[in-house]
Amino acid sequence: MAVTWLLVPFTRSQEIALAAMKTLVVDHPLVAHKLTALRDVRTDSPTFRRLADELVTLLAYEATRDVRVVDATVSTPVAPAHGVRLARPAPLVVPILRAGLGMLDGMTRLLPTAEVGFLGMIRDEGTLKAQTYATRLPEDLSGRQCYVLDPMLATGGTLAAAIQLLFERGAEDVTAICLLAAPEGLAYMEQVFTDSGNPVRVVTAALDERLNEHGYIVPGLGDAGDRLYGVV
């Protein structure tokens, strides 16, 4: 996992293709501006929530670039116009509780007809392994495009477990939207999804330096759940 990927001179957004997945680091001044304010330790919870919400909408715009559509024709007051509408089945948006909940409104603002499933996952702070404590998802996800919301792609354990669960239920392709990613997490995702045969995309506002010994992203933004909702 080379940090030199970031040196590839893409003009707008940096797309990094790995063997089994693609990572898009969205390179846009508004994204960078909001992310900088989000990282700032002085940013209070109400402002953090608003910024995260706005940031997700910007990331969602890029993340939905491959959303499936079908041809559609409408009549304008003047003449028929050929266009598209979202294909069925509707995309499924899956926030990973609890921090992913802070990304839901920003996502559904852009994709209001999407259905929403929920996954409650918690990281054991000792082992850094993910445990599922709540699942509210359709049993059959055949043919579905899924968008997983998880603000921090740190070790990758939680996100990979969530995505595997979606594929086990028949999801067609999965895009993860993360505010931040660590190189270690992307490497883990690559390892898990290599040869899986299922397309996985990660869309993020930044690829940070590394994880620290506590599994936190450096420089990161701290604990996303705590900053959104307080320490409860």
Determine if 52 is a binding residue for ligand URA (CB under 6 A): no
Determine if 117 is a binding residue for ligand URA (CB under 6 A): no
- For residues 28 and 123, which CB has a smaller minimum distance to ligand URA in the complex? 123
Given 63, 154, 192, 200, the residue binding ligand URA (CB under 6 A): 154
Given 63, 174, 224, 228, the residue binding ligand URA (CB under 6 A): 224
Given 25, 152, 162, 186, the residue binding ligand URA (CB under 6 A): 152
7 vs 75, 163, 188, CA distance in Å?
47, 28, 21
Determine if 220 is a binding residue for ligand URA (CB under 6 A): yes
**123 counts as catalytic:** yes
> Which residue shows structure tokens 């898009």?
24
**108 counts as catalytic:** no
- Beta strand extents in 6-161 (DSSP E only): 14-17, 21-25, 69-75, 80-86, 92-97, 115-116, 118-123, 130-136, 145-149, 152-153
Say if strands 14-17 and 21-25 run parallel, antiparallel, or are unpaired. antiparallel
Nearest residue to 60 via CA among 106, 10, 117, 11: 106
Site string for ligand URA, 80-99 (x = CB under 6 A): -------------------x
Q: CA-CA distance, 33 to 50, in Å (whole number)?
A: 13
Determine if 223 is a binding residue for ligand URA (CB under 6 A): yes
Which residues on neighbouring strands pair with residue 15, listed in sequence order?
A: 24
**36 counts as catalytic:** no
Residue 6 has what DSSP assignment?
G
Q: Name the catalytic one among 123, 132, 135, 173.
A: 123
Determine if 185 is a binding residue for ligand URA (CB under 6 A): no
* Residues making contact with ligand URA (CB under 6 A): 99, 152, 154, 215-217, 220, 223-225
> Which positions are catalytic?
123, 127, 223, 226
